[in-house]
Structure 1
Amino acid sequence: MTITAEQRRARILYLVRELGTVRVVDLAERIGLAAVTVRRDVAALADAGLLHRSHGAVSLPRRESVAGRVTGQDRVVGMLVPTVGSYFDEIIEGARSAAAAAGARLVLGISAYESSDDRAQAEQLLDAGVDGLLLTPNWKPGGQPENSAWLAGLRVPAVLVERRAAPESPFAELDSVGSDHHHGVLVALQHLSSLGHRAVQLAARDDTWTAYHVRTGYQEAVGLLGLEPRPVVGIHQPGGDMEEVAVRIAAGVADGARAVLVHNDQDAIHLVPLLRGRGLRVPDDVALISYDDVFAALAAPPLTAVAPPKRAVGSAALELLLRRLESGPELPVHHVELLPELKVRTSCGGVGPSGAAR
């Protein structure tokens, strides 16, 4: 029996309602028709406003808000993060809140800081029928691993979160939203400089994306502000080698560097009593600024901290992905960097080395 165009299109609409976003080639396979025929039917349905086409896939059109802006109604967004807890909790919450406000749903995947897990977790999200992906790949400091080639073949739009591909990378044209950590370090050192400090030590890890940019941002900021450069005090295991870190910072203090920026909050909080055990009180003997501002306000004393806009990053990434889903390739590629701010508390108080108030 011959299937009419109306019957074909009714079947297409039924499958899209059942499956959510689906590729045209998959529709053709399910219906048992040539892909060219299904593409023609999909085009007719899209012209009638019954379907939405994007990146070779189709979905139901979204309803508009009262302001006339297209929302994410009925969209499902997958979000892949390397961990939950502390820093990424706030990013996830920002994305979740933005999704709820737009009428979309967020589905979470965790890749456990092992780059080999990224692809499997992303495929799991894709198999769940997500319309787009928010991705924080496990890229090592200073570059992207070779086994990220799968990113170029994603069948749905994706936005990088707290990651940005190098200009020469095959992923450079992926949308991205993240914190400008170089700016975050600069505002911290500007504050310490304004308080009379001419030398600031940096204690930081070297195994994460953020730590890499904190380190490179430190080198830039020292040059821009005309501060005395000091060797970075490496933190090689979170919370595990802080005794040695305290020894090196104490030596730096004795050499005139009475201010320190510590990445991250957890290590900064560990450091305070260890410095006190060496006769150095925060803030009287050494000014301390933490980087991340997840737990800094809970420390004793409360720590002045650089606060990346974590919730805003999650929210902006979700909203950008919904715009990409709506506009497709007509929307220019966005590389968005949001500026951290400095939350001034008591750990920079007292009197600076030049006599200025801290």
Structure 2
Amino acid sequence: MAASADKRRARILEVVRELGTVRVADLATRLGMPTVTVRRDVATLADAGRLRRSHGSVTLPDAGAPGGPGGAGAHGTTTATGSDLAGRAAPDGRGRVIGMLVPTVGSYFDEIIDGARSAATAAGARLVLGISPYEARDDRGQVARTLESGVDGLLLTPNWLPGGPAEEGDWLRDLPVPSVLVERRAAPGSAAAELDAVGSDHRHGVLLALRHLAGLGHRSVLLAARHDTWTAHEVRAGYTEAVRILGLEPRPTLDLHHPGGGPLTPADPEWVADQLAVSAGEGVRAVLVHNDRDAIQLPPLLRARGLRVPEDIALISYDDVFAALTTPPLTAVAPPKRAVGAVALDLLLRRLSPSDLPAHHIALLPTLKVRASCGALPRQD
């Protein structure tokens, strides 16, 4: 029995080493073991210092640790697969009220909010939510109203796009309470660049997707993407980088907005399917779609055009909010949404305590959830 346990635990360490960060439930599924057995083995490995547990996920103990591989550099910048700060003792947030401003609820940000709320509850703090819609561009007014409620600190997701004016966040330096940017990074050299920031490394997420497709034999991958959000711009930039790194044949990005319409006008799904069919006719049999809402509409529309997923077209979605709920279940890039919220909340609480903690720019790495939608090799015509 002991030998069997040793083999299980060795396999657990092997998978965590491969994936970086993985939820215990997903680890059990991948290993084909009962969740209760995996939890028990994970607890044993964590007690021995061979794994780190945080918010239902596990990672190797040195992943993202400051000063270690991928850890914080001289300016406090950290790239990690999991929650380095949340892996430490939780700060005391009793009596603290934290304001959180997001551009939307009901999709991607729900999990970020949930992560922040769970971390706040664990620390004894209270989270107050506000919404500054993408279309409003009224961050300052929303922040002012949130401050009026008497919050001790702010988690902020301003309505910025990469490459925007460096001065657009200058007003943040005058806020009367500590603030942490969530899924945003201020322009280098700007006043807001000195703020703490926690977000997903979306460019790495795109690289994971394209590397997986390249491993299946695809030499060209189409990107179908929005362009009205921060994530969309990072996905587009990540595509350009990943194509270069992997030596793939670049393709023009398929814009997921209506031809001739504004940037917030969604494309007709039938039109998108038509464009994918044209690309398939040109030999491109793999596509990465940002985001889930657009991706899950495509399999039945492609079937109507004689193209099956994954037999004829390999499809990967970006966001992993609804990707598992379609037929076939979609392989998806999964940004660490809950971890982003939890780490941002944790960092803000630490900022509220007297310390010499340097400013942190923390980038958490997405994972790739491999499901049924991209198992085909490109068809040889």
Normalising by the residue count of structure 1, what TM-score does the alignment of the two structures yield? Answer: 0.77
Kindly provide the amino acid, as one letter, of the partner of residue 342 in structure 1.
L
Q: Does the 8 Å CA contact 2:169/2:186 hold for their aligned counterparts?
A: no
1:29-61 deviations in whole A, cap 9, x for unaligned? xxxxxxxxxxxxxxxxxxxxxxxxxxxxxxxxx
- Stretch of structure 1 that moved more, 243-252 or 224-233: 243-252
Question: Number of residues paired by the alignment?
Answer: 288
- Give the corresponding residue for 2:347: 320
Bigger radius of gyration among the two: 1
Please tell me whether the aligned partners of residues 169 and 192 of structure 2 are also in contact (alpha carbons under 8 angstroms): no
Select the residue among 342, 349, 357 that pairs with 2:368: 342
SS in 1 for 2:193: coil
Q: Which runs of 5+ in 1 are unaligned?
A: 1-66
Secondary structure of the residue aligned to 2:197 is: strand
8 Å Cα contact 1:239/1:266 also seen in 2:
no
Percent identity over the alignment is 68
The residue that corresponds to 1:32 in the other structure is none
> Please, what is the CA RMSD of the aligned residues?
1.8
2:281 is equivalent to residue 254 of structure 1: yes
* Shift, 1:144, TM fit: 4.8
Q: CA deviation at 1:145?
A: 7.4
CA displacement, residues 211-248 of structure 1 (integer Å, 9 cap, x when unaligned): 00000000000000000101100011565422222222
| 1:273 positional shift | 1.8
CA distance in 2, matches of 1:287, 1:89: 28
Aligned residue runs from structure 1 range 83-232, under 5 A: 83-114=104-135, 116-144=137-165, 147-232=168-253
Residue type of the alignment partner of 1:112: P
Q: 1:336: Cα distance to partner?
A: 0.1
Match of 2:161, as an amino acid? Answer: K
Residue identity opposite 1:183 in structure 2: H
How far, CA to CA, are the matches of 2:267 and 2:331 in structure 1?
23
SS at match of 2:301: helix
Structure 2 unaligned segments of length 5 or more: list them.
1-87, 258-263
**Cα distance in 2 between the residues matched to 1:318 and 1:160:** 10
Per the normalisation by structure 2, the TM-score is 0.72
| TM-superposition CA deviations, 1:234-289 (whole Å, max 9, x none) | 01156542222222221111111100000000000112222222111111100000
- Match of residue 34 from structure 1: none
- Measured against aligned partners, the alpha-carbon deviations of 1:123-144 in whole angstroms (never above 9, x if no partner) come to 1111111000000001134325
Letter of the 2:280 counterpart: V
Task: Determine if the alignment matches structure 1 residue 291 to structure 2 residue 318.
Answer: yes
For 1:129 and 1:255, the matched residues in 2 are separated by: 59
Change (3 A) 1:315 1:304: same
Which of 98, 101, 109 aligns to 1:77? It is 98
Distance of aligned partners of 1:280 and 1:315 in 2 relative to their CA distance in 1, 3 Å threshold: same
Of the structure 1 ranges 229-238 and 125-134, higher mean CA displacement relative to structure 2 is found in: 229-238
User: Counterparts of 1:312 and 1:265 in 2: how far apart (Å)?
Assistant: 20
Does the CA-based 8 Å contact 1:113-1:138 persist in structure 2? yes
Could you tell me which residue of structure 1 aligns to residue 328 of structure 2?
301
The offset of 1:354, in angstroms, is 6.5
Deviation at residue 310 of structure 1 after TM alignment: 0.2
CA contact (8 A) 1:160 1:175 kept: yes
SS of 1:260's partner is strand
SS at match of 1:171: helix
